Copies of this chain bind each other. A is one copy, B any other.
Amino acid sequence: MGTKRQDIVESADRLFYREGFADVGIDRLVDDADVALGTLYRHFRSRSEVVVAAMAHRHDAFLQALTGTPPAATGAAAVLHLFDALAAWSSAEGGNGCFFLRAAADYPADAGIRAAALAHKRTYLALVERLLCQGGWDRERAAGLAPRIFILLEGAVAAAFTLGDHAAVADARSIAASILAAGGPTS
């Protein structure tokens, strides 16, 4: 519960996301968190555990950002709101791509990191499906539609990162709007 551990996790989250995993070592973390080296190793057994903790921290913040201001909308608006929230989140964070994809790509041999990335994506996809159900789609239709919305969300983040495409999220949103209208809950 100590605030020191929190400081480390927040520094790790920010530095890893902004500068990548390779360029941020333990020394950078303890510097940024204003924490002694021994303190870090009291709370975490290894650097890998710090990475996993940073992923968990970002997972919570990300999901909260996406579900934080739900305008209690129904229908397509409930899902399209995801894209607006994603646009706000992405511009606030700097558009450096998906943190979890980057972590999984960086440490393909680390089971803990891969598991954290997979868990994040699964709950992300489940969130989309749940919003579709809340929007009025029946469970079967929602299960078929959610992966497609997910592809659009992931593609928007990837395109924004690699191309610096500022309009990617908006483009993805409009595609989502059209496929939601085509396979709407009332049809």
Contacts and interface: CB of A to CB of B under 8 A. Distances in A.
Given A101-B97, A171-B151, A175-B151, A109 B158 contact: no
Prevailing SS type, chain A contact patch:
helix
A148 interface: yes
Given A152-B152, A158-B154, A178-B179, A163 B105 contact: no
B178 A165 contact: no
A140 interface: no
A63 to B, nearest CB: 16
Given A109-B23, A163-B121, A151 B178 contact: no
Nearest to A147: B171
B151 A155 contact: yes
Contact of A118 (B118, B162, B178): B162
A161 to B, nearest CB: 7
Q: How large is the interface on A (under 10, 10 to 19, 20 to 34, 35 or more residues)?
A: 35 or more
A107 interface: yes
A55 B162 CA distance: 14
A71 interface: no
Contacts of A179: 175, 178
A37 to B, nearest CB: 22
A100 B162 contact: yes
B159 A156 contact: no
A65 interface: no
Interface of A: 19-23, 96-98, 100-102, 104-109, 117-118, 121-122, 125, 147-148, 150-159, 161-165, 167-168, 171-172, 174-175, 178-179, 182
